[in-house]
Amino acid sequence: MGSGIVGFEKAHTEKKDRMLSRVADSLYWMSRYLERAENAVRQLDVTMSLVLDTGGPNVETRWHRMMAALGKPEGMPWNGSLEQMARTLIFDPIDPLSVTFCVSGARENARQVREEISTEQWQRLNRLYHHIHSPHAQSQFSSSVNDLLASIIDGIYLFKGTTDTTMIHGQGWQFIRLGRYLERAYATATLLEVYQPELFQHGAQESAAHLYLEFVGLLRSCTSFEAYCQVYTADLSPARVLEFLLLNRDFPHAIRYCVDGARESIQGIQHTGGRRAPDELISGIGKLHAMLVYTNIQEILAGDAASFLHNIRAQCLYIHELIYRYYVHYSIQSALAF
């Protein structure tokens, strides 16, 4: 009889662990998909504004740079029409980079854990999903693509605000924050790495004369132009732009801020009753945090800035793998060990 009770307890625990890992996985990816959609919309909006500058790179070059910054260096095959390429990036239902694909992925993950989120969250996300799939969105694209992009951003912001004001700030909320900040840190590091050869290897005088609009576009891609100007005024020097987007601890799209947020979320998961984070995960996020805290922009520029940014991306991927190993794809034996 004793062994039967032990067997039942173990089976029950395994089922519970699978449920917990499923919920964590869905909330984590719901958040990452929405962050990815927002990043694509912002970069598309900036790119379509910058092509009006006839003195800069041509349209095709800007498009391929944007696609590389979104994580697809080979890009979509260029057909000579910015409008058609933009339509594909927004509405393609099967390309993992498209806004529609990401919003659909976020909604599907939310649907799988409908009982874990508030009615208001589901309504906001569902409304965004149906809007982007509606004929109205297609006609809005034809009449004013900027208005369409703004409406998508508004929908994502409304969901994020609703999440923070209607959801218990427990384990589920922490996994949402973890997905958001890890995705954002990786996206910003990718963006900076793509821009690095073009923008951060020029002298200050040349940058001020020839690359001013490019720096404005880079900052706008991270919703950071006004915030940057509050810290440094409108002096867009390469070192200051890189320093702000890398090391600022108070701006939500700076990599330092995102890494701090991800670290706090991992700690919060433990404090709200989740599994104790293993030493490997604590060490991984701690190493990434130390990279940004115990350095300055002069040291980064004196060394290899591209390698520094690439290392940040590699660390983000490593932390993602550890999150999956210990919170999603873990065995009952490892669960009982922590």
Residue 108 pLDDT level (bands cut at 50, 70, 90): very high
Helices 212-221 and 238-247: angle between axes, nearest 10 degrees: 10
DSSP character at residue 53: -
Return the higher-pLDDT residue of 222 and 272. Answer: 222
| Statement: residue 13 has pLDDT above 50 | no
Q: What is the pLDDT of residues 317-329, one digit of tens each?
A: 999 999 998 888 7
Q: What is the pLDDT of residues 56-83, one digit of tens each?
A: 778 888 999 999 999 987 777 777 788 9
Mean pLDDT of the chain: 87
Could you tell me which of 267, 264, 266, 241 has the C-alpha nearest to residue 253?
241
| Statement: residue 132 has pLDDT above 90 | yes
Report how far residue 157's alpha carbon sits from residue 38's, in angstroms, rounded to the nearest whole number.
9
Residue 217 pLDDT level (bands cut at 50, 70, 90): very high
Q: What is the pLDDT of residues 168-215, one digit of tens each?
A: 999 999 999 999 999 999 999 999 999 988 877 654 445 454 578 889
Pull the structure tokens for residue 117.
Answer: 């989120």
| Statement: residue 21 has pLDDT above 80 | yes
Helix residue ranges, H only, the chain: 2-50, 59-69, 82-91, 99-112, 119-132, 135-143, 145-166, 171-199, 204-210, 212-221, 225-232, 238-247, 255-271, 279-293, 297-302, 305-323, 332-337
Pull the structure tokens for residue 149.
Answer: 């992009």
Q: What is the mean pLDDT of residues 26-55?
A: 93
Q: CB burial class (10 A; 0-12, 13-18, 19+) of residue 299?
A: exposed
Residue 5 pLDDT level (bands cut at 50, 70, 90): very low
pLDDT at 273: 67
CB 228 within 8 Å of CB 199: no
pLDDT at 11: 36
pLDDT at 275: 65
CB 95 within 8 Å of CB 80: no
Print the SS3 string covering 248-283: CCCCCCCHHHHHHHHHHHHHHHHHCCCCCCCHHHHH
Exposure class string for 196-215: b at 16+ Cβ within 10 A, else e: beebbebeeeebeeebeebb
How many Cβ atoms from other residues are within 10 Å of residue 9's Cβ?
Answer: 10
Q: What is the pLDDT of residues 263-298, one digit of tens each?
A: 999 999 888 765 677 889 999 999 999 999 999 999
